[in-house]
């Protein structure tokens, strides 16, 4: 049964931060404390306790009296359902998502909201981030730039970079979700792959910030189920393929349909490469080699087909794909 515990301030906040929480007793305090320490003050935190069975609910009870925080408890329904519920309860003009086992810089909201307030044609801001491991961290600063939503969508499809796909390093105008009926697909792993391209495509402009403001704790696995390494890889690849197939159907303009076709081709090559490196079963090499051949057979020329991809395709269609296997066994070792 679902219930909300709300102690709302009188005026509507400018930003709603949506935090999905499931069995994060070790991390939820650090996450919420990093949000409460923000330099930008006009915000609320909507916490969705997605049926936690550990001490998460008890820890959240300590935050009930904070006027910034809305706590909603529901039976476990998964990350997408929790985010969608957070969107439904949110009152801000802008929304962002923070995973409950991560944390953010104290100027996370201040930096992300500034371009949106200065330029009403900007609908999404994107920041850099750090991946935090047990013994090191990896930095992902971004190139500061302003792109149209169309350009950003095309880049997402053609370049397949994580910072574009991720849900949590962005601040969005809430109207992108509500006016275009965009929600996260319930029950889906890697749900942002199936959602962010839609948000980009309906945005007027997307602003990228250099600042690394989000701290993604790779050592944690509390949000998603604990699959084996092989199973995780396979699910990630399957979602990349699913995204490209759905995007081809979603877009109306020929350019974006062609870009989605390249995204599908790239997903096939991802299956092939992971089979060569034994991250997934070797059977996928021939399955997806044939899919590449079928995709290209009888198709009109795709302007986004790069010389590099053409070279890979020429090696792949050699007898049994032998030349591609040799080439990638050498090059993938260097990565």
Catalytic residues, by residue number, are 192
Pairing between β-strand 69-74 and β-strand 122-132 as defined by DSSP bridges: unpaired
**Beta bridge partner(s), residue 145:** 208
3-state secondary structure of 166: coil
Of 64, 27, 88, nearest to 218 by C-alpha is 27
How far is the CA of 286 from the CAs of 160, 194, 282, 324, in angstroms? 23, 26, 8, 12
How far is the CA of 96 from the CAs of 99, 103, 112, 301, in angstroms? 10, 13, 10, 39
**Beta bridge partner(s), residue 18:** 46, 97
Alpha carbon 274 to chain centroid distance? Answer: 21
Main-chain dihedrals φ then ψ at residue 161, nearest 5 degrees: -95, 140
Contact 248, 146 (CB under 8 A): no
């Amino acid at each position: 049964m679902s219930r909300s515990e709300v102690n709302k301030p009188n005026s509507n906040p400018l930003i709603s931060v949506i935090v999905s929480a499931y069995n994060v007793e070790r991390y939820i305090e650090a996450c919420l404390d990093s949000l409460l320490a923000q330099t930008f003050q006009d915000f609320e935190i909507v916490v969705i306790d997605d049926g936690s069975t550990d001490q998460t609910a008890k820890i959240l009870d300590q935050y009930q009296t904070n006027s910034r925080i809305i706590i909603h408890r529901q039976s476990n329904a998964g990350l997408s359902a929790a985010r969608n519920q957070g969107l439904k309860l949110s009152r801000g003009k802008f929304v962002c998502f923070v995973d409950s086992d991560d944390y953010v810089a104290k100027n996370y909201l201040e930096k992300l909201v500034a371009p949106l307030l200065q330029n009403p044609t900007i609908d999404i801001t994107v920041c850099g981030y750090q991946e935090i491991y047990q013994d090191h961290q990896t930095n992902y600063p971004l190139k500061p730039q302003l792109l149209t939503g169309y350009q950003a969508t095309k880049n997402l499809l053609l370049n397949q970079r994580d910072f574009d796909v991720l849900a949590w390093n962005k601040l969005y105008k809430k109207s992108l979700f509500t006016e275009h009926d965009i929600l996260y697909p319930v029950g889906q792993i890697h749900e942002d792959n199936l959602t962010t391209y839609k948000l980009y495509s309906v945005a007027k402009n997307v602003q990228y910030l250099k600042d690394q403001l989000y701290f993604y704790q790779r050592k944690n696995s509390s949000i998603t189920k604990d699959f084996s390494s092989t199973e995780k890889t396979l699910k990630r690849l399957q979602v990349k393929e699913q995204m490209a197939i759905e995007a081809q159907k979603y877009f109306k303009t020929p350019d974006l349909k062609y870009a989605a076709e390249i995204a599908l081709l790239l997903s096939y090559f991802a299956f092939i490469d992971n089979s060569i490196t034994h991250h997934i079963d070797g059977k996928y090499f021939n399955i997806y080699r044939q899919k590449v051949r079928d995709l290209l057979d009888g198709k009109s020329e795709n302007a986004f087909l790069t010389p590099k991809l053409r070279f890979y395709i020429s090696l792949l269609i050699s007898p049994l794909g032998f030349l591609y296997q040799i080439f990638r066994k050498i090059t993938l070792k260097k990565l």
